[in-house]
Amino acid sequence: MKYFVVIITLLCCHTIFSQAYSGKGDVKFQIGANLQDNGTGITGSLDFGVGENISLGIASAYLLGIDKVRNTEGKDVPFAEFKDRFDLRVRFNANLGNVLNVNENFDVYPGLYASLKNFGGHLGARYFFTSGFGVFTEMSIPISKYNTNTLTPAEKLHNQVSLNIGASFNI
């Protein structure tokens, strides 16, 4: 009877630790800080697993920490407008954690996105400490900006390299 209890306990403990990405039907929610030149803010993303190594999702960021920006008339104004602070993205991820096989709790995901400001790419990584909680980091790079004119400092927000760090949750 002792051996039976020990085996059941080990099996239960093994199932508590899940993979960072488990394939079709997997849902991840991430929230954290968005860091870029001339602004810091909050970001959130929601990814849905649609295949063994493919996920689709949405992401958003809103910049809070903006001191001053120069408007089109050349005047310094205290804050950028909402349209310059906010960005919304749809995204595609190639989840390579099981391909790289570093650790089952670790996932690397390069991907592409289309946003309100530009089209770009991102490279992210997440590590899960338990089946429901982990950390992530992600770097985004715009490939093609929708506004091809010279950008004002406010328009450069979300149109530059940015770094996201924060918490990841398995839903």
Q: What is the pTM of this model?
A: 0.79
Among 125, 122, 131, 137, smallest CA distance to 169 is for 131
pLDDT (0 to 100) of residue 20 = 66
pLDDT (0 to 100) of residue 27 = 94
For the chain, domains (ranges, CATH) are 19-170 (2.40.160.20)
Give CA angle at 122 (121, 126), nearest 5°.
Answer: 160
More confident residue, 66 or 8: 66
* pLDDT digits 0-9 by tens, 82-126: 898 999 999 999 999 888 888 989 999 999 999 999 999 999 999
E strand spans, 3-147: 27-36, 39-49, 54-63, 69-70, 76-77, 86-94, 106-115, 118-128, 133-145
pLDDT (0 to 100) of residue 167 = 98
- What percentage of residues in the chain have a pLDDT greater than 90? 57
